[in-house]
Chain A
Amino acid sequence: MKVHVTINGVNYEKDVEPRTLLAYFLREDCGLTGTHVGCDTSSCGCCVVVMDGTRAVKSCTMFAAQADGHEILTVEGLAEGGTLHALQQGFWDQHGLQCGYCTPGMLLTSYALLKHQPNPSEADIREGLSGNLCRCTGYQNIVKAVQQAAGALGQPVGTHT
């Protein structure tokens, strides 16, 4: 079947097997391998992408067909014109990653979180990220990374780096 999805602002029209999961559509049909798969049960959150600007979805739990006509943001679309997104900068500055496997999912879940809650408390961040597993960091520096990003995004346009 044919699906038409806008990913990171680029239109993709592909013929896929109906049972193709969005995660594999992104990775194998579109070559966007930044989205990872870490489990079979929608538990780990390595595959999280943002749909239609504000909704974090686990792309291993959606068929590509369900994304037909929608806009998807993946980790590859976060940086703009060579400038890292405030979340990417936060994860780098705060040592919010080690092996990096969970990082794309963490970034995209945080992206959606900050869309809904621009000034989250530590408890809000921990709650918001509880569907994303990390085996390396113990989450503490991830929380700091999201706080840094929230601070940077909250500043007037043009003043955050």
Chain B
Amino acid sequence: MSIQTKPLHSVGVHMKRKEDPRFIQGKGHYIDDLSFPGMLYLSLVRSTYPHAEITNIDISEAMKVPGVKAVITGKDLEAAGLGWLPTFHGFDKQMVLAIGKVLFQYQEVAAVFAETRAAAVDGAEAVQVDYAPLPVVADPFASKTDKTLLRPDRESKTNHIFHWEVGDKEGTARAMASSPKRIKQRLWFQRCHPAPLEPCGCVAYFDTMGRLQFHVTSQAPHVYRTALSLVTGIPEDKIHVMSPDLGGGFGNKVPVYPGYVCAIVGALKIGRPVKWIETRTENLTSTGFARDYHMDVEIGATADGKVTALHVATTADHGAFDAAADPSKYPAGIFGIVTGSYSFPVAHAEVDAYFTNKAPGGIAYRCSFRVTEASYAIERGMDILADELGMDAVELRKKNFIRKDQFPYPSALGFTYDSGDYHKTLDVALEKIGYTGLLKEQAEKRARGELMGIGFSTFTEVVGAGPSKHFDILGIKMFDSAEIRIHPTGAGIVRTGTKSQGQGHETTWAQIVAEELGLDPQTIMVEEGDTDTAPYGLGTYASRSTPVAGAAITMAARRIREKARKIAAHLLEVGEGDVEWIDYKFQVKGVPAKTVTMKEVAFAAYTNMAQNEPGLEATYYYDPPNMTYPNGAYVAVVDIDRETGETKVRRFVAVDDCGVVINPMIVEGQIHGGLTEGFAMAFIQEIQYDAQGNNLNTNFTDYLVPTSLETPHWETGNTVTPSPHHPMGAKGVGESPNVGSPAAFVNAVIDALSPLGVRHLDMPLTRDKVWRAIRDAEVKKKA
């Protein structure tokens, strides 16, 4: 990674973040920091039952609570034509407030508007709801039977939401049947919740012009504007969506939630601003969960370990409404990346999704639409195959990697991988961790009965959604955009359709503009999240910001450079064809002494532009020609206490290849964070429901996220294989560590337990689960 060698070199530079001074001084503007005169607070009444008829709602006591201004129910919304909200996926709808019955515990039932936060909560407590319980469907396998139909409102009278498949079904079956070696394993990627530290919320009001001013925790403000216009019938020009500083998102802030609609309805009905801020419990129990995929993985191979076929059949639990925020052609997201980094001649993947009495979601939690599930499936599967073959997990991977010379590589499931050097990336990781030494140590420890494991994950990601021919949200193609204005003094502003939630766009976007135009990144302001000023874009999730908006910024900057070239020619008194861009300046070809800087050109664009169009700005809408394919080689080393089942992650090396790096400090920070979330999923993080449909992880004392104490020390490294189709060669990185790491942790734990005969355990690998596995294995051995 380069350090700053030239004063104007801005990309690849470890630059401190421009956004930080406000955050470290408590001057950030998060949603709950906003306040408007006359503002009311909204609190939601939520269902105590997972599945029940609502026999009566009595609001009379609530209306008597001092400060309560109004209470609305599903019936009121239905009468106004706002009873249901389309999900982003486009093929289902979600009740805003329960109509007739509730379908999951903590579902929104009534909305109470009051003068203070406390009065709103008191009012919600006073709403009397009578329920008649119905049979509960708490798992997708029970849902399959259709014994209890959960969604009679839908045309098709079944709990089955969709069947999706990709690949060659017959060819895969044939290849599998004729493979000398085969493994099959069910893997469950448990239900998780992204749990950003700032919960979701909004403030809605109608201004004096009757225009909806909507401040909301949104990762995709433009999509919200369009969706709100379509749902409410308010013309889109009368809706102004503003996403303030976001206290994390991780996919949780992509969907539109019922609380947002209630706040808008309240603001309209009462004529005052309404604030809704969910509690942590509301966040964990009702907003977009992630994963919950039961995957039957089958891999065929030759006796010497060459893979021959892959089949994955998934049963997906989507909860009460199909609220997965997936592109419309991809109901199971980009699960087709499940062939991973390996050269499978044939493959077939299928997903069947079912309704259950659980919270809706299935969102992309730090993940490009089901890629985390897919990556876990193949990386666990390869280890199980290595075990079956009695082969080293590294050797098996290297034998089956897509080779460097095979790129662009058409995968068996329809992707064209752009670039990579998987062997090199893995070798860097092996060197860094000292694999040979670890194997020796492990052999010695095993001889003494100690449990030490080494786990690998050599994943390939697919990000940067996406090319318009494939990807859309609610029909809107997944391009992104940038608008750059360079001011007379050479300072400027860049606006994009993305929205940072901690990724550091205010810094990296400025670095890109500065690099392309030879300007000072400190004087390039970045603005996002305001639909009145930013060009239309699809937002920040699925590691799409750098691959898509980053490309748009680069292209817009190059447009500015082309315009600037004309002005430079005028200033240098030569023809445009005699001007070249060298070393961040315009220069007369072959005359190094005759130069003009972009700063000088910017001033001339407003003061001395000759016959050229005044001003210096450009807009670019970038439709990516392909996805990008970041990849990495991760190695985890664990020690397990045989007596207690406690796993200690002793070392973790992550070598990532995300193409050209814009800011190495920020990339490393993203990797640290993603690894920590991967660690969380592997060991502690889970939203559990009991058989009666009760959510058991409703706050941070039950839904465990890692603290500084148990989080391992991360060791990072990188290789750089530029994306050939991205204008800067960048690929995106935010989700790689979260996608790639869970399998490395699990593979390490299973490797440690393998001398006991343990072949697989589902996440999270809690102490008691590991302890039970050790105990059961020992009991079995004695028997």
Contact = CB atoms under 8 A, between A and B. Distances in A.
Interface string A16-44: 01010000100110001111111111011
Interface stretch (B580-588, B707-715, B752-760): B707-715
A95 interface: yes
Contacts of B699: 39-41, 43
Nearest to A37: B32
B711 A133 contact: no
A11 B250 CA distance: 40
B601 interface: no
A13 interface: no
Contacts of A103: 23-24
- Residue with the highest number of chain B CB atoms closer than 10 Å, among A38, A75, A84: A38
B26 interface: yes
Contacts of A75: 24-26
A20 to B, nearest CB: 8
Contacts of A34: 25-28
B594 interface: no
Interface stretch (A51-59, A85-93, A151-159): A85-93
A160 to B, nearest CB: 17
A39 B247 CA distance: 13
A15 interface: no
Contacts of A132: 707-708
Interface stretch (B392-400, B490-498, B500-508, B562-570): B500-508
B94 interface: no
A143 B713 CA distance: 11
A97 B25 contact: no
Interface stretch (B55-63, B181-189, B190-198, B223-231): B190-198
Contacts of A95: 16-17, 665-666, 668-669
Given A99-B198, A99-B247, A101-B30, A130 B25 contact: no
B672 A100 contact: no
Nearest to A102: B197
A158 B8 CA distance: 33
Nearest to B26: A34
Contact of A138 (B32, B197, B673): B673
Contacts of B28: 34, 100-101
A38 B281 CA distance: 10
A92 B16 contact: yes
Interface in B663-677: 665-666, 668-670, 672-673, 675-677
A88 B281 CA distance: 31
B295 interface: no
A134 interface: yes
Contacts of B279: 40
Given A84-B24, A92-B16, A130-B707, A41 B701 contact: yes
Given A84-B24, A135-B195, A141-B669, A98 B708 contact: no
A129 B710 CA distance: 11
Contact of B700 (A44, A84, A98, A136): A44
Contact of B23 (A33, A100, A131, A135): A100
- Residue with the highest number of chain B CB atoms closer than 10 Å, among A75, A78, A107, A138: A138
B76 interface: no
Given A40-B281, A78-B25, A140-B672, A101 B198 contact: yes
Contacts of B503: 98
B245 to A, nearest CB: 7
Nearest to B675: A138
A99 B559 CA distance: 32
A136 B672 CA distance: 8
B502 A99 contact: yes
Given A41-B700, A76-B26, A104-B26, A130 B708 contact: yes
- Residue with the highest number of chain B CB atoms closer than 10 Å, among A107, A127, A134: A134
Contacts of B16: 92-93, 95
A30 to B, nearest CB: 12
A28 B116 CA distance: 11
Contact of B25 (A88, A98, A125, A127): A88
Contact of A19 (B20, B35, B118, B705): B118
Q: Contact size class for B?
A: 35 or more
A139 B26 CA distance: 19
- Residue with the highest number of chain A CB atoms closer than 10 Å, among B23, B673, B677, B711: B23
Contacts of A104: 26
- Residue with the highest number of chain B CB atoms closer than 10 Å, among A39, A41, A43, A84: A39
B61 to A, nearest CB: 20
Interface in B452-473: none
A127 B280 CA distance: 24
B506 to A, nearest CB: 11
A127 B709 contact: yes
B196 A129 contact: no
Nearest to B27: A34
B30 A36 contact: yes
B700 A137 contact: no
B251 interface: no
Given A33-B26, A34-B25, A41-B701, A142 B708 contact: yes
B708 A125 contact: yes
- Residue with the highest number of chain B CB atoms closer than 10 Å, among A32, A41, A135, A143: A135
B225 to A, nearest CB: 23
A136 B502 contact: yes
B280 A136 contact: no
Contacts of B21: 92
A126 interface: yes
A79 interface: yes
B12 interface: no
B522 to A, nearest CB: 14
Interface string A94-114: 010111111110010000000
Given A34-B26, A136-B248, A39 B711 contact: no
B27 A141 contact: no
B384 interface: no
Contacts of A130: 707-709
Contacts of B33: 27, 33
Contacts of B709: 126-127, 130
Given A37-B32, A78-B25, A100 B665 contact: no
B204 interface: no
- Residue with the highest number of chain A CB atoms closer than 10 Å, among B26, B249, B707: B26
B23 A97 contact: yes
B25 A76 contact: yes
B25 A140 contact: no
A138 B23 contact: no
B705 A133 contact: yes
A7 interface: no
B17 A139 contact: no
Given A103-B24, A138-B675, A139-B711, A17 B118 contact: yes
Nearest to B246: A99
B388 interface: no
B432 interface: no
Contacts of B117: 24
A147 interface: no
A46 interface: yes
B673 A135 contact: yes
- Residue with the highest number of chain A CB atoms closer than 10 Å, among B23, B197, B248, B666: B197
A37 B675 CA distance: 25
A138 B676 contact: yes
Given A33-B33, A36-B247, A91 B669 contact: no
B199 interface: yes
21 contacts: A34-B27, A36-B247, A38-B197, A40-B280, A44-B700, A74-B26, A76-B25, A79-B25, A88-B24, A91-B24, A92-B24, A99-B247, A101-B30, A103-B23, A104-B26, A126-B709, A135-B196, A135-B250, A135-B677, A139-B672, A139-B711
Q: Ordered nearest first, which 10 A-B pairs have the shortest CB separation?
A: A34-B26, A101-B247, A100-B23, A99-B502, A98-B502, A43-B700, A75-B26, A138-B672, A138-B676, A33-B33
Given A38-B247, A98-B669, A139-B711, 6 more contacts: A43-B699, A43-B700, A95-B16, A100-B28, A134-B197, A138-B675
